[in-house]
A and B are shown apart, each in its own frame.
Chain A
C-alpha cells in the first residue's frame, strides 16, 4: 500500500480519499524527486555501460566459437595452442567455491547476527560489531595468501584423511571466501533484526516465550526481508570474488564438484583476472574470452537475482 501518489499526477482528483500530499504543486518537491530519480538511474547507466563494453567483443567471440560448444563443452583451454572453449569447468568451479563459501558464511553469519541483536549486552555488541566490520576490510590479497600459506597446511593437519595434493584446494578457498563475507552477513542481518519494533518482542516475552523462541519465531520472520538481502549480498560477493580464488584455488580448469574438496579449480572470476592482467595480446579471440565469460557471469547473477526477488516477495506475502 503505497502513499506516494504524485501531487501532479492526480489531475481529476476524486474527493473520496484524503490525500497526504500538499494541496499546491510544490516544484521544489518535484525537483528533488527528479534528482533522486537520477541517482537511481546511475545504476541503470552502469548496467548499460557494462552491457555495451561486454557486448561487442562477445558477439565477435561467438562469431568464431559456436555458442553450444561454449556453453556445454567440458574442456576449457582457451590459451593453449589447440584451444578449446567449453566453459563448464570454470562455471562449476565458481559454483563449488560459492557453495563452500555459503556453507561457512550463512550459518556463522546469521547465528552471530542473532547473538548480536538479541542476546549480547549492548557494550559487547558495540565493540564486536565494528571489529567484525573492520575485519571485512582486510584486502582480498591478504586473505588469499592467508588461505594459501596458513589455512591449507592447517586443514591438512586437521583433516589428514582427505586426498590432499598440491597447495591449491577449492575447499580451503571456499572457506576463506566464506570467512571473508561473514561480517557482511552478520552486519546486515543484525541491522535488520535490530529494527524490528520491540513491541513485538516484548509481547512475546510477556506471553512467557523463551529467548530462543522469540529470536527464531518472532524477530527472524519479521526481519526476513533484511536477512534475505544479507544472503543475496553474500552470494553475490562470493560469486564475484576474484583475488582469493586466484591465489588459493589455483588456475586449473577442471570439473571440480563440491565433494572434491581438495582439488584445484579455476573460477570464472579468476580466469578473467589472470587473463586480463596477463600477457595475452588484446584483440585476439583468446582475449575476447574475457568478455564472453564476463557476459556469462552477468547473465548468471541476473537469473539468480530474479529468483531471489521472487522468493523474497513470496516470504513477504506470508506475513502480510
Chain B
C-alpha cells in the first residue's frame, strides 16, 4: 500500500485522537457523574451547597427555556448537574409519570390520561407557567393585508375550508390577487393544538390540505417569505428572528387589531393567540432541595430566561401564581 496513503491515514487517525483528547481534557468538568435515578435524595454539601442531578425532558418548544435556566443555575451551583432532553411533550410525560424524570417541559397542558398514569405511580404534579408566547400569524411582506379577524382566520384554516385565494376571504379589504399558500406546524405539536383550539374552537380541527412543515418551523419562514400568497403560523421567537423577511398580521378579537408583542401578550390584549408555556415538576422531586431551588430560580429569573430564548417573560402576577403552586406541591 502506498506510503503517502498510509501517512495520510495515520495523520487522520492522529487528528481524530487529538480531537478526542481535546474534547476529553479540554473544558472543565463541572458537576458530577453521580446517581441519575429521579428518586435519589440530594444532599447539601458542607457549606450549604447543593448537589445532585436534575433530569428534565419534554417539549422541544420549551427546551430553549429550560436550557438557559439550567446553565444559569449551574453557574451559581456548580455541584448540581441538570440535563435537558427533547422527547416531545407526550414522550416527556410518559417518562415523567414513570418516575424517570424530575421535571417535564410541556407546550400544552397535561391531559387526563397522563394525569391518570401519574396518579397510578403516586406522582402528583401541577402546571407551572414559565413564559408567555404569542402565536404569530405571518404573511409575505408584499401582501397589503395587515389585519385579520379571528373569524376570518377560522374561515381560512377551518376543517373542510374551500378558501383557496385571498380574495375569497369574506370581509377582507385590499386582499391581494394571489393564491393562498398555507404553512403550518406538525399536527403533533402543541402549537397546532393551541391554534386550532383558540381559533376554531376545537383542538385538532383544521383543514388538511396545507403545507405541513413537520418539525422545522424554519421551513415556514422559507415558504411564506418566498410565496406572495403565503400564510403561516408559529411561535413568537421564529417571527422575531425573521422580522426582515416576514410580516406579522394583527389579530382582531372583537376589540380592534392587535399586533403581537411582549406587552400585548402580557396584558392579554393579543387574544386569543397568547399562550403560556409550562413545566411540570413532580412532588417527589420537589422534596429534594436542589430541585426546589432550581424551580424557584427558574420562576424568579423567568424574564431573563425568556428573553434569552426569544420568548416573552412572565408578569409579576403570573410569577406569584407559579410560586404558590410550587409551594403547594413541595408541601
Direct touch of chains A and B (CB < 8 A): yes
Could you say which residues of chain A place their CB within 8 Å of the CB of B111?
Answer: 281
With contacts A126-B5, A283-B117 taken as known, whether A278 is within 8 angstroms of B205 at the C-beta atoms is: no
Q: How long is the Cα–Cα vector from A166 to B181 in the complex, in angstroms?
A: 8
| CB of A273, distance to nearest CB on chain B (Å) | 8
Contact (Cβ within 8 A) B88 A123? no
User: Which residues on the A side are within 8 Å of B88 (C-beta)?
Assistant: 276-280
Most buried by B among A83, A165, A246, A251: A251
| CB contact list, A231-285 vs B, under 8 A | 246-247, 250-254, 264, 266, 270, 274-284
| Cα distance, A167 to B60, chains bound together (Å) | 22
**Chain B interface, DSSP helix/strand/loop, else mixed:** loop
Binds B, one of A8-16, A19-27, A73-81, A202-210: A73-81
Rounded to whole angstroms, the CA-CA distance of A270 and B186 in the bound complex is 11
Cβ of B192: which chain A residues have Cβ within 8 Å of it? 79
B113 interface residue (CB < 8 Å to A)? yes
Given A79-B187, A274-B188, A166–B223 Cβ distance below 8 Å? yes
Known: A279-B59, A279-B190. A80 touches B214 (CB 8 A): no
Q: Tell me whether A278 and B90 are in contact (CB under 8 A).
A: yes
A279 in contact with B90 (CB, 8 Å): yes
Question: Is the CB of B43 closer than 8 A to any CB of chain A?
Answer: no
B216-A279 in contact (CB<8A):
no
Interface status of A127 (Cβ within 8 A of chain B): yes
Partner of B214, one of A127, A246, A254, A281: A246
Binds A, one of B146-154, B196-204, B280-288: B196-204
Interface string of A164-199 (1 = CB under 8 A from B): 011110000000000000000000000000000000
Q: Are B213 and A250 in contact (CB under 8 A)?
A: yes
In the complex, what residues of B have CB within 8 A of residue A270's CB? 214
B227 and A281 within 8 A (CB): no
Known: A126-B2, A247-B216. A252 touches B211 (CB 8 A): yes
Chain B, residues 117-155, CB within 8 Å of chain A (1/0): the string is 100000000000000000000000000000000000000
Complex interface: chain B residues within 8 A of A251 (CB): 186-187, 212-214
Q: What residues on B are CB-neighbors of A246 within 8 Å?
A: 214-215
Cβ-based interface call for B315 (8 A): no
Task: Check if B328 is an interface residue, CB within 8 A of chain A.
Answer: no
Q: Does B1 contact A (CB under 8 A)?
A: yes
Decide: A126 and B1 in contact? CB cutoff 8 A: yes
CB distance from B60 to the nearest CB of A (A): 8
- Give 1 or 0 for each of B209-240: 1 = CB within 8 Å of chain A CB: 11111111001001100110000000000000
Taking a contact as CB atoms under 8 Å apart, the answer to whether A274 and B90 are in contact is no
Interface residues as binary, B1-20 with A (CB distance below 8 Å gives 1, 0 otherwise): 11001000000000000000
Q: Which of A127, A148, A284 contacts B219 (CB 8 A)?
A: A148
Q: How far is the CB of B316 from chain A (nearest CB, A)?
A: 29
Q: Is the CB of A127 within 8 A of B5?
A: yes
Give the residue of B188, B211, B216 whose beta carbon is less than 8 angstroms from that of A275.
Answer: B188
Q: How far is the CA of A281 from the CA of B112 in the complex (A)?
A: 10
Other-chain residue from A82, A250, A287 in contact with B90 (beta carbon distance below 8 A): A287
8 Å CB contact of B215 from A254, A274, A282, A287:
A274
Chain B residues 152 to 211 lying within 8 A of chain A, measured CB to CB, are 159, 181, 183, 186-190, 192-193, 196, 202-206, 208-211
B108 neighbours in A (Cβ, 8 Å): 279
> Taking the complex as formed, is B107 at the interface, i.e. its CB lies under 8 A from any CB of chain A?
yes
Q: Does B261 contact A (CB under 8 A)?
A: no
Q: Which chain A residues (83-133) contact chain B, with CB distance < 8 Å?
A: 83, 123, 126-127
Task: Using CB atoms, name the residue of chain B closest to A152.
Answer: B222
Question: Across the interface, do B212 and A277 meet the contact criterion of CB distance under 8 Å?
Answer: no
Residues in B whose Cβ lies below 8 Å from that of A279: 59, 88-90, 106-108, 188-190, 193
Contact with A280, one of B181, B188, B212, B227 (Cβ below 8 angstroms)? B188
B93, CB-defined interface residue at 8 Å: yes
Indicate whether B243 reaches chain A with its CB closer than 8 angstroms. no
Given contacts A80-B205, A81-B203, A284-B113, contact A277 B93 (CB under 8 A): no
Task: Known A-B contacts: A251-B213, A275-B188, A281-B89. Give 14 more (CB < 8 A).
Answer: A81-B196, A82-B159, A165-B227, A166-B181, A247-B219, A254-B209, A276-B88, A276-B91, A277-B91, A279-B107, A280-B188, A281-B90, A283-B117, A284-B113
Question: Would you list the 8 A-B pairs with minimal beta carbon distance, nearest first?
Answer: A278-B188, A279-B89, A81-B204, A251-B214, A251-B212, A79-B187, A81-B205, A282-B94
Which residues of B line the A interface, CB within 8 A? 1-2, 5, 59-60, 86-91, 93-94, 106-108, 111, 113-114, 117, 159, 181, 183, 186-190, 192-193, 196, 202-206, 208-216, 219, 222-223, 226-227
Q: Which A residues fall within an 8 A CB radius of B?
A: 75, 77, 79-83, 123, 126-127, 148-149, 165-168, 246-247, 250-254, 264, 266, 270, 274-284, 286-287
